[in-house]
Every structure is written in structure tokens, then in C-alpha cells.
Structure 1
Amino acid sequence: MHNRIWPALAFVAGVSLPQQWAALPGWPWIVSAWLAFALLAGRRRVVAAALVLGMAWALSFAAWRLQERLPDRLEGEDLAVVGVIADLPERFAHGWRFDFSPEPAAGLPGRLRLSWYDQHPLPKAGETWRLTLRLKRPRGTFNPGGFDYERWLFAQGVGATGYVRPSPDNRRLAEGGAFDFQVWRQRLADNVDAVLSGKPFAGMVRALVMGDESGISQAQWRVLRATGTAHLVAISGSHIGLVAGLVFWLVSKAAARLGLQRWSPPSVGAVAALLAALGYTALADFAIPARRALVMAAVALCAVPWRRHVRLSDVFASALFLVVLLDPFAVLAPGFWLSFAAVALILLAVAGRLRPAAGWRGFLRANWATGLGLAPLLVLLFQQAPWVSPLANLIAIPVMGTLAVPLSLAGAAALELGLDSSGWLLQGADQLLQWCWLPLQWLADWPRVDWGRPAPPGWSLALAGLAAVLCLMPRGLPGRWLAVPLVLPAVVWQPPMPEEGGFRLTALDVGQGLAVVVRTASHTLVYDAGPRFGADVDSGRSVVEPFLRATVGPAIDALVVSHGDNDHIGGADYLLEALPVARLYTSVPERLERYGPIPCRAGQRWRWDGVDFAVLSPWDESGSENNRSCVLKVSGAHGGALLTGDIERETEARLVEAYGAQLASDALVVPHHGSRTSSTEDFVRAVAPRRALIPAGYRNRFKFPSREVAERYRRFGVATAITGVGGALTVDFQFQGLALEQYRDSAGRYWNWRP
């Protein structure tokens, strides 16, 4: 590696290191870091100075951004706020979602993430509104393998989330200004939507034009992820590079034809290409991936008018340094690592060879390099690596990346200038995507196309990455055979499972709802699947499946849907359609009839790996739906757990009468989320749990668990934990002691909410 690479890598490592910390040090430590940097820089210890500079830079920015969060005293209060809609509103099932910038006098964070339910008329970017808001500090569900919403909000600079309260005072105060950039983006988005209304790939064309991916359906995302082509629908490095390269070529040729004397044609082309890249990045509202690509393009293009020979490694190092310098929280985004790793792999595979591959050979080699080299990183970040990605990209890159992007941009420009009012160019881009979609859909439907597994230890994936690099080295390099033993640890590794007779129970944080995973030595049971929030949003998709992929693998041996309330059954359809489920038990078989359910009835029993599972109720179809919940007892060598759904006092009394001391369990998933209609004294006394897990959302509208119930468990000496407070709650029944792990305590970072 050249000399500039090492300081850039050290700086990135320094910025990345504090992102692993559960808490930030105080200002004296941050000041000490800056002093250490000055000392090392004075002694010309370049790499060490870059490392410490990265740490000091990241810590300073993080401390400043944490100060930008909503004060505790304003959480849950109704606030009248004047501000500007700061981006394109995004439609969801029950309203609109958008970022809002309050006036400085409001004393609020500079950026709020708001939901506005059932709002008419449609809010537009750039408009000034007076709104009545109810806000809370950045908060999301927190589970192994799940999306860290709090990290995303932190990286985006969002200091509070909330919703617009119904109020007669809510009104638009002003339209956006004629030269307001967001107003222009809104007008362009509206024009594209109007032309492509009803077209199957309208959302994808809009994403190619302006980086807004909200119109892409979940079904389309499934295909894109399964085939490894999702990068082609975001304004990314390849798109900006394509636009910059095309403009550079066209303008350079035109300048040469015009015979300009004062400026060389390549210099004119480079300036035009940089302006085009800047404009395209602006269309994406300077989103982080587009910003990275712009910096890389700028470093390369600025060398042209200066007539400097710039090595590709220097361009890479400079871009890496500048991207992280301008936005130290870019390292929190998976796209940061994937994009720079992809560029590094392409440079390794194509550049610096005596006879570099060109044309189609170069494209094939680059495609092979990224497909192979990114696989360990994809497994680490997402617990899956689409093995058909190289083949899918052979089809998609020429059509989607090379043809659809310029056609979409030309169509949007023509529409804006009034040259193509019918939108034929945009419709042509939509048609191109339809033709390309057929083979992608076919590939996505192949069995086990999205091969995945729990991520092996980091060291084994690092060895696998080294193996991929060895495979991409020139053929004459000795030692390439070492790639085989280097990749073996990641391939043969298996996640730790409970021993025979033991089991592990995890109550997932799904907001106001219930989803529990029980894992034995070789079997997985899922009890309830959390709520559904909209047509394409549910806890099965966003919480349960990612947890399974990250910890035990996606197969489900038994899914138990306790009853038909949305907060229990909402994610079941997705799990049954997306994952292999061997058996389905439910008290509402009519709701899941197409999946061949087994009606839940008291007396059903089975045994897995020395662990007994027994259905204790319902006995019949009498009573309310809550009281007909499937009640499941799990008993192993080191204790048992009772899962109760939403049963209320009537069923609790019947369980006590029918089973008595047999109800005794070390852990109890508290009935009905801690409602005062459940957890009677007789029931708690009969179960006599040592741990009570309460599946209740943070600041939920029902105010679960009720104070009365919480006090009752306290009187009985039962230790309680709430999913909405501690995140996913795991109890390990593999040894005496009944240890409880709260995921926020074990995996939380400094940006995550703490009780």
C-alpha cells in the first residue's frame, strides 16, 4: 500500500472505535485526545496521529450531537411549533412521514422526524407550518439482528420523533420559496409521479432520478435484495460515476470540436462532469451514499485541470479520509463499508496489472471481484449473501445501471423543461425496468437464493475476506492456495446452541405486542409474531426474521399464534410465507386456514432435545378471544417457562383450578402485557416465577404494565423486566441461576436510549 493509504485507514479506525462504546467519556478525556494528537503530529508520527485525530474528531461530534436531543421535560407534552418541512413527505399506511425543521426560537432539536396521520391536504417540502406536536426522544425497538433505528436517527441528526396532534391551530403559514431547493425537488417528484401514475416501476424510476426509495414496494425490495441488485436503485457511486463519465466524454468532445484555446477540452469536461455530479447528488438531497460518491468523483476530476497524475490509491485514500472527515457518522452506515470495500476490490482486481482487462473482460472481472470479496462483509452485516448476485448483476448493471439511469435523468430534465410533457422518456425507463425485472424475478425465486446463516465470529470473517483477496491476486502469486484453509473457519462455524435438556427463551422487543423465540439444542419455536403496522410493515419482517437469521437460522419448527389480536398475529403471515415453518398451532385456525394450522387444545404435548412442551389451554372455544389464547409451558432440565398470551382473570382462575402446583415456572411471560385484567394474586402465587417478562411498548397508549400489576409482582418478590425498557429479554435455562440478559444493557451504544 502507498503511504497515503495508512493514515486514511488509521483515521477511519480512530473514528470507528468510539462507535463501539456504550457511553462517551467526559470532556476532559476528549480534550486529552486533542492534546495527544497535537503531540503525535508534532513528532511526525503520522499514522498514530491520524488514529488519535479520528478518535478526537468522532468524540467531539458525538458529544455535540447528543446535546441536540429533546430535553426530558418536553417528552410527551403538546407543543405548538412553527417550522419548515425539510424533505419530501413519505406516504405510509395511515398518513405521511417527514422531517421538520423548527424555528430556532422553539428551543427544540434542529431536525424532527414526524408522522401525520390521515392528513389532508398533502404537506409539501419547503412549506412553513404551525403544528401541534407530541414528541419523544429518539427511540426504537432493540433486538439482536434488528435494525437499530436509534443509530439511524442519530446519524441523520434527528433529535426527536413524534406525531402531529389534531388541532384547529394546525395550518400552513407559507408556501415554499420559488428558489427553494426542496420546493424544486418536490415539484420534480410530483411531475414524475403524475407521468408514471399506475406504472409498476414508478417508484424505482423516482429512486433513480432523485434517490427517493419510498415508492419501491416490499415485493420489489425482496427481489432486489435476493439478487444483490439493491445498489442499482439508489443514487450511488456507480450512478454518479456514470453521469460524471458521460458528461466528461460529451463535453470534452464538444470542447475539442469548438477549438477552445484558453482551456483544454479535458479540463472543461472535468469541470462540467463535477457540476453534473454535484447536481445529481443534490437531487438525492445529499444523502450519505451519494455524498461519498461525490467526494470520490471530485478528488479524481480535480486532478484533470491541475494536470496532475494521480494514482488510483491516492484517490481512494483521499476520498476515504474526506468522507469521514465531513461526516464522522458515515461509518455507522453499512453502505459506507460496502461501497468503499467494493471500490477497493475493483482496484485490486482490475487496476495495477501489466495487462489490465478492458471492456467486457474488465466488467466481468470487476463483477466477480465484488461478488466474491463482499460476501464475508454481507454475512457480517446482514447474515446473508445472495449467491446469484454476480449473475444477476451481469443482467441488471447494463440495463438498470447503464441505460435506465441516463434515460430517467433525461426524461426528468425534459419534463422539467417542458420538452416531453407526455413523459415518453420516463415511460421508456419504466419499460426497460419491466424487461429487466423478468430474469431478476426468476433468479429471486430460485430455492435458497438468499442463503444466510448467523454471522460467524469477526476473526473468521476477516480470514474469509483475506481468502477472497488472495483469490483476486495475480495468478503467479505464491500462496494463493492458502485461501482454502483461511475460509474454512467461517464455513464450518456453528452458533452456540443450548445443551440437551436446556433451552433459551427470548422475548423480543416488538413495541406494544408479543413475540417470543424458544430455542433448544436443534429446534426453534416462535410464540406469536408481533403487530402489523401496514400492508408492508410488520414485526415478523422487521424483528422476528432478522433475529432468527442473526442467532439460530431462519427455519421455524413450530409457530404458535396464541390468538387473533393484531399485536400477536400481525407478523404471522409474513413468517409463514417467507420462512420454512414445519408446524403451526393457533387458537384462531380460521384466520390462518390457508397455512394448514393445528387448532390449539389443552393436552397437546411434544418433546424436543430433552425439553417438554405442553399446551395448557384453551380447553374449548368458549370465552373471549383473549381468554382462548394458547397457553404453553416449556420445561427443561434447569427450569421452566410459562407463555400466556392475553389470558385474563377468568382463564387464570381455571388454570389454577386445573393444574395447581403444576403451573410453577421459573419464568413467566406476563399475561396481557401487564394489564390490570390479568396477573391475579392466585395466579401469580401458583406460578411463583422468579422472573417476569413484560411485553409492553415504551410509553404505550394503554400505560402497560399497570401500576397495580407491577406492585403485585414486587410484593411477591418477582424480578420484572419490560421489553420496551430493556429491549429483547433473554433467559437461559442451561444452568442453575436463571440469568437474564437485557439487550440494551449488553449491546447498547452511546446513542441508544437508556432508562
Structure 2
Amino acid sequence: MRAGLIAYIAGLTLASLTPRPEVSAGVVLAAIAVSMCWAARRSGGFRRKTILLAAAALLGFAWHLLWAGLRLDAQLAPELEGRDMIVGGIVRGLPRRFDEIQQFTFEIRQSEAGFENRRVLLNHYGEEEILAGKAYRFEVRMNRPRGLANPGVFDYEAWLFQRGIAARGYVRGQVEAAPELGTAWLDSLRASIKSEILRLARDPATAGIIVALALGDDSGLTDEQWELFRQTGTNHLFVISGLHIGLICLLAYALTLFTVKRFPALMLLAPAQKIALLPALTAACAYGSISGFGLPAQRALVMAAVFMLASLFNIKQPASLRFLLAMAVVLTLNPLSFLGMGFWLSFLAVAALLLVQRPDPRPTGPTTWLMASLRPQLAVAAGLLVPLLFWMGEVSLLGPLVNIPAIPLVGFCVVPLCLLAACSIPFSETLAETLLQPATWLLQLLLWSLENAVALGSDIAILDRDTPAALTLTLLAAGSLLALMPKGFPGRQLTPLLMLPLLFTPAKATREDLLRLHILDVGQGLAIIVQTRRHTLLYDTGASFSPNASMGDRVVLPVLKKMNTLKLDAVILSHSDDDHSGGFPAIAKTLPINRLYSSFKVPQATGPTYTCRNYINWHWDNVNFRFLHPNTPQETDNDNSCVLQIQAGNFTAILPGDIESTVERNLAATLREQLQSNLLIAAHHGSNTSSSWPFLKMVNPEYVVFAAGYRNSFGHPAMRVLERSAAFTSNLLNTSTEGMISFILTDPESNPQVTSFRKDHPRYWREGSAQFESPSGE
């Protein structure tokens, strides 16, 4: 049975590598798998087991193809992209607000274009408040689900695909109520409870946490709170996860057991332990429903249901079998859930707890109680060490100690108070406010304790390491596994030796390539990472979305972390436009910067700042850097852009920022053949105001890269610019279709190796590399 589940899980996960899942292929493979099972009846022994294992793997593969094929077929057709259409439907979930933007999931029930029975993600820029659970009719303009494609960055397209989002877009014109389309009463109830909690809670600092714990909506948590939770390893306490579902189950089980034992007649019907299982499972389902049944809640409910139903029906199977069955069910419901870090953290934490289960006597004294409390925390810490280092590059050392009091405080005190308050809001505001008050006090106490824990242990709060090599991860995984084994297990004494790599930070290896130039996919904006053998330069930082979110922390920093870059030798902010400099505050706050060049005064600068001028040049590791412009201040911000030329061996690149045709013509007239370059980053994202013929003629590029957003509203790159560029080269690349584009030069005499993230990392849920067209048709 366990081998069959492992084969089924393997088939489910391997199907993610298929280029384009088809429903018909899934049906055919499923039929073959059933036929193999039927044929296995006539075989025996090893052959029969082999056929059944192959059938289980094939069945998992077939189900993934069927599930994915149906979702791909439901996505917005390419011919409907950018078209205005009238749709009617219901708002699902809780809308989220980002400054002036409301974002919400919309279930379309009527559409003039035949695009019904789909869920889409919409933005609304108007003043009307979009209410959860209500029906509306409005005009929308949508595109296919699309995200940014860079290494080390959150896979937004996979996230959309798992949630069944068929398109993204925005509302145009007036919002019209459509009550005849129905309502989603649970979503409306959750929205009203949220607004009442925010109104009744007296402390704004903890009100967002209460909403997160009661309703699964973490939009009210601040960046400072997330950072505090990260340092103390308590992130899992403040978003609904398997821990909360498990604690609610345990609390409901204990209360029911206590009640049943007070009425012995009930135990004549069934053992008290079995009677208590049904209310526990019911409580978990109720908590999951009020939290919106997000993917973490679904995963936790499946795990709880598998383990509890097995006990309820006297299914005497080992815990490992229940564990694999829970994983198989979770992957059946969402075959791509294994892509998320939360999936592995949840199951590995449970696996670690199962491994350290011991038939020890009940704790009697403070010492034995402390050890009994510390053991599961240390087990989870050991089990999650390798995945946290792999995904995050860091582990909280305070986590095991801080979680000992924090888990019962949140799970057995705060969460029940929050849920009771939420349930009492429709009946009595006074009771709800009374219940929220102690929850607020407890959360204030917890936040104060976490802040003091970080202050006392600030030097050891986080074990931060570069992404370890495969060998290091293997050694740490072996050490973690041995640490979870019982005393006397062969080789357990090797655990400290296998953990030694944690104590050492390996010397920074010199990059072998002469030059690496990466044009990041930051949507409608620009960010370029330039690496020599020992130095790293960042040219522009992408845009900002709000005071607390930008392409700097969403894209640039994760990519730099993936590249194991802990400092920047230089940052160049070409000019003050937000799509070029908006991400700088997040980067300056996180990484040390040796030198900053810009064409304007940067208020967030933390070190020496230099104005870029055409007489400045420097050399790093046999690579020459030179500013070509400006020589004097210009009239417009665009024309003030710092124009950088990079020369390594026979390869030259020009990064012109947003200069327009007047500056381009002046450069062409004064520098002439000095402009000749292999690579040109198209000025101003390919706008009609730039990429003039004289400039292109002098540069004569082999490659032109356009850094532009997918189907952006500016129409970049313009068709006339594409036509002019095509007169000099056929190698026209766009970050919106290619993802991050990299030029790698191994030595001075070699030709650059050109790669794109979408082409090198194809995934069926991710739009692949394609020849782009100007969306405006200009």
C-alpha cells in the first residue's frame, strides 16, 4: 500500500514536467492504468506488484494531465486579450486594498464573449467599494494569467494556476449591482465579521493579527510585524495553517472528552475517545470554512481528516501509511501544491513529530515538563532545517525556545477567543468586544515578548547562509534525520559532525565568467544586474507599488539572494522616474552599497553619492565601465539618464536609461564609432521618442533588448521602433516574453551566451518564450 501511494505521488509530481497537458491524454493514460490493474489480476508475485506500481504511477500522471488540461482550456483565449467585455458575477473571498487599488477574485456567471463559469482576478481603481459576496456587472479588460519570470522569485503564474484564475484584468467604467445573479453568503459573512473586528478591536497594532487568526486574511499585518515573526520563527502562528487546525481539533477533542466523561451513559454508545473525534473534525471544518478554505487550510484539514477517520473506524494502519495517504489526497486535490514551500514545511514538520514519538511516561516535574515541551520544537527545527536553508537561506535560532510558550498561548487562548468573538458578532457586539479585549492583551504581551527576545538575542536570532551546495544540504539532511532517531540508533553519534557546515561560512568563490549581464523581468520598468568575477553592479531598480512594496523587494533582492550576492559594489539610478528608481529604498535598507551614482538627489541614500558624468570611468576584473552621458544637466528627467557603456574583451553593451532622440542624436554625432556595441538596451523601453535612426546606426547592435511590461498601456515597444531595430538585427528580445534575459561572457575572445528564463525553465503553467508583438499596433 505504501509503495503504491509513493508511486502515485511520483506520477503526480513528474507530470508537472510535461510541456502542455491535454485532457485527452489524461483520459487515455487513465484507461491504460485501469487496464493494467485488470491485467495484474492474472499475474502473481513480483510481476503483479510491479504492474500495480506502474499503474499507480500512471494513474497519478494521468490525473495531473486531466486536472491541468481542464484549467489550461479554461484560461482566457489569446484573441480575447485586451478586449473590453461586459461580465456579471459574484465577488469571492475578501477583497484586498493596496493604496487606491481594490483587488478581488470575481466568479463570472455572465459574459457577452462566452467566457463564463471562470474565476478571474480584477483590480478596481474607482471610489466605489467592492463588497465580498455581492454580485456586480461591469466592463472589464483582461489578459491571460501572467507573472514575472526570474530565478529565485515567487512563481506568481503557478500561484494563479493553482487557484484556478483564468485571467487577470481591471474594471473599466461604472460598477453596477446585479442582485439577480445571486450572492455568496459565506464571503459576505466573513467580510462583515472583518469590518466589525476592526471596529471593535481597540488596538490597531493587534487588530490585523486577530483578523488573520480568525478569518485567514493577513492583509492587515505590517512589514515590521512580518520581520519580527521571521526573526523569531513564529510566522506559522499568525497565518492559518496546519498548526491552528490541529490545535482547534485538539481543543475540541479535549472539551468533548471532558463533557462525555461527565455523562457515563453516552459511553454506552461508543468509547469516549471516538465520540470526541467527530466534534473535533467538525470544529476543524468550521474553522477552515470561516478562514476561506485557503490552500494551507485545505492541506491541514485533509491531514487531520485522514488521521482522525482512521482512528474513528478502527483502521489499524501505521502512521507512515496515513502520512502518505494524506499527502496523496492533498496532491490529488491540487497536483501543483508540491511547488509551494508551505507544502513541504507542513509535511516535513509532521514527519519529524512522528519520528520522535516515544512511549515516555507523563511529565511529573518542571524539568521533565520542559524537556517534553522542548522535544517537539527541536524535532520540528531539525526537520525543517534543510528546507528552510534551501528556500530561504536562513533559519531562526530563537524559534524552538520562543515557540514553547507561544504555541499554546496562541493556539489554546488567542485563537479560541478570536473565533468566539467572531461567532458572537452577529448576536452581541458587547460579548464580542468583551472577548476581543483579553485576546488583544495576550497578543500585546506576545509581541512585547518577541521584541525583547530579538533585542536580547539580536546577534544570534537568524542563522543566515548563502544557498548551500548540494553536498552541504545532503550532509545536513543526514544529520537532521539522525538527530530525530531514538537513542542507540546506529550512526546517531555522527549528528554533530554532519552539522558542522552550519558553523562555517564558505569563502566567496570567484565567478569564472568574465562578465554576466542580467536584464531582469520587472514589468514596465528597468533593473539590470552586472557581475564581473569579483564585483556586482545594479543599474536601476524597477518600480514601487506602495511605500512598503516595490520591485526592489519583490524581484531584485530575491534574484540577488539566489545569486548569493550579499553586497553591491555600485548602484546606478539612471534618473528619478519611479519605474527606474522606485525599488531603491528596499535595496538600500537590505544590502550594503559601496558607491551610488545618480543623475538626481536620492533622499534614501545611505552612503556616498556621485553624480554620473561623461568623464567618469572605472575598471573591474578586466571589464571597463564608462559613462557616456550626461556631461551637463539636461532639461528633462529622461534626458538626464545616466548612459553607461560596458566593455569586456570583444563585447560591448550600452545601457541608455530613458534618453530620447535629441540626446541620442548628440551622442551619435559626437561619439560616432565609439558607440558601436554588441548589446543595446532599448532606450525608454522602446518608446517612439527614442531609438532614433542615427543612434541605432552608430551603435549597430547585434542584440536589442526591450525591458517592458506584458501588454503595457504605453504600447512599448512601438512598432516603428521594432521596424527600425530590425533593420540592424533580427535578435530583438523582450523581457515580457522572455523573462530575465542574460548575456554571459566566459572570456575576452568568446561570443556571449544568451539565455532567457522562460526558455530555459519551461513550465506548462507559465507562458513560454515567444516572438512578441506591439500590443498597440503602432
Task: Name the TM tier (shorter chain).
Answer: over 0.9
Find the partner of 1:72 among 60, 67, 78. 78
Match of 1:415 in 2: 425
Find the partner of 1:687 among 681, 699, 709. 699
How far residue 718 of structure 1 moved from its aligned partner, in angstroms, is 5.1
Match of 2:11 in 1: 14
**Superimposed CA distance per residue, residues 358-417 of structure 1 (whole angstroms, 9 cap, x where no aligned partner):** 754233122112222212112323343334433443453243344321221222223333
Closer, same or farther in 2 for the Cα pair 1:436/1:752, shift >3 Å? same
Establish whether residue 480 from structure 1 lines up as the match of residue 531 from structure 2: no
Matches within 5 A, 1:131-142: 131-142=138-149
Kept in 2: contact 1:587–1:599 (CA 8 A): yes
Establish whether residue 27 from structure 1 lines up as the match of residue 39 from structure 2: no
Match of 2:119 in 1: 112
Is the partner of 1:165 in helix, strand or coil? Answer: strand
Kept in 2: contact 1:95–1:115 (CA 8 A): no
Kept in 2: contact 1:380–1:456 (CA 8 A): yes
How far residue 143 of structure 1 moved from its aligned partner, in angstroms, is 0.7
Is the partner of 2:709 in helix, strand or coil? Answer: coil
Closer, same or farther in 2 for the Cα pair 1:356/1:33, shift >3 Å? farther
**Superimposed CA distance per residue, residues 534-582 of structure 1 (whole angstroms, 9 cap, x where no aligned partner):** 2222100100001011123232221111110010011001100122222
How far residue 233 of structure 1 moved from its aligned partner, in angstroms, is 1.2
Q: Distance in 2 between matches of 1:318 and 1:742?
A: 39
Is the partner of 1:280 in helix, strand or coil? Answer: helix
Kept in 2: contact 1:541–1:571 (CA 8 A): yes
Kept in 1: contact 2:594–2:607 (CA 8 A): no
Kept in 1: contact 2:596–2:609 (CA 8 A): yes
Closer, same or farther in 2 for the Cα pair 1:36/1:485, shift >3 Å? farther
Which amino acid counterpart does residue 415 of structure 1 have in structure 2? I
Matches within 5 A, 1:99-178: 99-103=105-109, 107-108=114-115, 110-167=117-174, 170-174=175-179
Q: Distance in 2 between matches of 1:545 and 1:516?
A: 12
Find the partner of 1:348 among 343, 352, 355. 355
Identity within the alignment, %: 35
Q: Distance in 1 between matches of 2:180 and 2:270?
A: 43
With normalisation by structure 1, the TM-score equals 0.93
Q: Distance in 2 between matches of 1:270 and 1:263?
A: 11
Find the partner of 2:189 among 179, 184, 189. 184
Match of 2:275 in 1: 268
Closer, same or farther in 2 for the Cα pair 1:673/1:112, shift >3 Å? same
Is the partner of 2:647 in helix, strand or coil? Answer: strand
Establish whether residue 240 from structure 1 lines up as the match of residue 245 from structure 2: yes
Find the partner of 1:258 among 263, 267, 284. 263
Closer, same or farther in 2 for the Cα pair 1:38/1:190, shift >3 Å? farther
Closer, same or farther in 2 for the Cα pair 1:220/1:489, shift >3 Å? closer
Q: Distance in 1 between matches of 2:439 and 2:26?
A: 54
Kept in 2: contact 1:380–1:455 (CA 8 A): yes
Q: 44-53 or 222-231, which moves further after superposition?
A: 44-53
Establish whether residue 203 from structure 1 lines up as the match of residue 205 from structure 2: no
Match of 2:722 in 1: 710
**Superimposed CA distance per residue, residues 203-248 of structure 1 (whole angstroms, 9 cap, x where no aligned partner):** 1111100111122122222222333221111211111111111111
How far residue 609 of structure 1 moved from its aligned partner, in angstroms, is 2.1
Q: Distance in 1 between matches of 2:700 and 2:194?
A: 59
Kept in 1: contact 2:639–2:658 (CA 8 A): yes
Establish whether residue 92 from structure 1 lines up as the match of residue 104 from structure 2: no
Q: Distance in 1 between matches of 2:542 and 2:202?
A: 34
Establish whether residue 515 from structure 1 lines up as the match of residue 541 from structure 2: no
Q: Distance in 2 between matches of 1:148 and 1:466?
A: 29
**Superimposed CA distance per residue, residues 619-643 of structure 1 (whole angstroms, 9 cap, x where no aligned partner):** 2223311111111122223522211
Establish whether residue 306 from structure 1 lines up as the match of residue 313 from structure 2: yes
Closer, same or farther in 2 for the Cα pair 1:109/1:232, shift >3 Å? farther
Which amino acid counterpart does residue 19 of structure 1 have in structure 2? S
Q: Distance in 2 between matches of 1:549 and 1:537?
A: 18
Count of matched residue positions in the alignment of Structure 1 and Structure 2: 748
Which amino acid counterpart does residue 205 of structure 1 have in structure 2? I
**Superimposed CA distance per residue, residues 468-518 of structure 1 (whole angstroms, 9 cap, x where no aligned partner):** 101221231222355567667897878986437x11000101110000001
Establish whether residue 374 from structure 1 lines up as the match of residue 384 from structure 2: yes
Matches within 5 A, 1:310-389: 310-349=317-356, 351-352=357-358, 359-389=369-399
With normalisation by structure 2, the TM-score equals 0.90
Kept in 2: contact 1:517–1:524 (CA 8 A): yes
Match of 2:775 in 1: none
Find the partner of 1:281 among 285, 288, 292. 288
Match of 2:765 in 1: 751
Q: Distance in 1 between matches of 2:544 and 2:624?
A: 31
Which amino acid counterpart does residue 499 of structure 1 have in structure 2? E
Q: Distance in 2 between matches of 1:687 and 1:391?
A: 61
Q: Distance in 2 between matches of 1:288 and 1:560?
A: 41
Is the partner of 1:166 in helix, strand or coil? Answer: strand
Establish whether residue 55 from structure 1 lines up as the match of residue 52 from structure 2: no
Q: Distance in 1 between matches of 2:184 and 2:78?
A: 37
Kept in 1: contact 2:197–2:422 (CA 8 A): yes
Match of 1:499 in 2: 512
**Superimposed CA distance per residue, residues 295-346 of structure 1 (whole angstroms, 9 cap, x where no aligned partner):** 2222232244434555432332222222222332322322111100110011
Q: Distance in 2 between matches of 1:588 and 1:398?
A: 53
Which amino acid counterpart does residue 291 of structure 1 have in structure 2? Q
Kept in 1: contact 2:25–2:62 (CA 8 A): no
Which residues of structure 1 form unaligned runs of 5+? none
Match of 1:229 in 2: 234
Kept in 2: contact 1:177–1:183 (CA 8 A): no
Which amino acid counterpart does residue 15 of structure 2 have in structure 1? P
Kept in 2: contact 1:236–1:290 (CA 8 A): yes
Kept in 1: contact 2:109–2:181 (CA 8 A): no
Q: Distance in 1 between matches of 2:699 and 2:498?
A: 51
Closer, same or farther in 2 for the Cα pair 1:582/1:594, shift >3 Å? closer
Q: Distance in 1 between matches of 2:214 and 2:250?
A: 17
Which amino acid counterpart does residue 32 of structure 1 have in structure 2? L
**Superimposed CA distance per residue, residues 443-478 of structure 1 (whole angstroms, 9 cap, x where no aligned partner):** 557358555455345565344323210122123122
Q: Distance in 2 between matches of 1:438 and 1:597?
A: 38
Q: Distance in 2 between matches of 1:579 and 1:109?
A: 47
Q: Distance in 1 between matches of 2:181 and 2:436?
A: 26
Is the partner of 1:752 in helix, strand or coil? Answer: coil
Q: Distance in 2 between matches of 1:661 and 1:176?
A: 66
Establish whether residue 538 from structure 1 lines up as the match of residue 545 from structure 2: no
Q: Distance in 2 between matches of 1:314 and 1:476?
A: 25
Q: Distance in 1 between matches of 2:87 and 2:182?
A: 20
Closer, same or farther in 2 for the Cα pair 1:309/1:718, shift >3 Å? closer
Q: Distance in 1 between matches of 2:13 and 2:362?
A: 34
Matches within 5 A, 1:630-645: 630-645=642-657
Kept in 2: contact 1:115–1:162 (CA 8 A): yes
Q: 576-585 or 44-53, which moves further after superposition?
A: 44-53
RMSD across aligned positions (CA): 2.7
Match of 2:776 in 1: none
Q: Distance in 2 between matches of 1:472 and 1:353?
A: 15
Q: Distance in 2 between matches of 1:354 and 1:253?
A: 23
**Superimposed CA distance per residue, residues 85-132 of structure 1 (whole angstroms, 9 cap, x where no aligned partner):** 111111111221111111166532534333343433322122111111
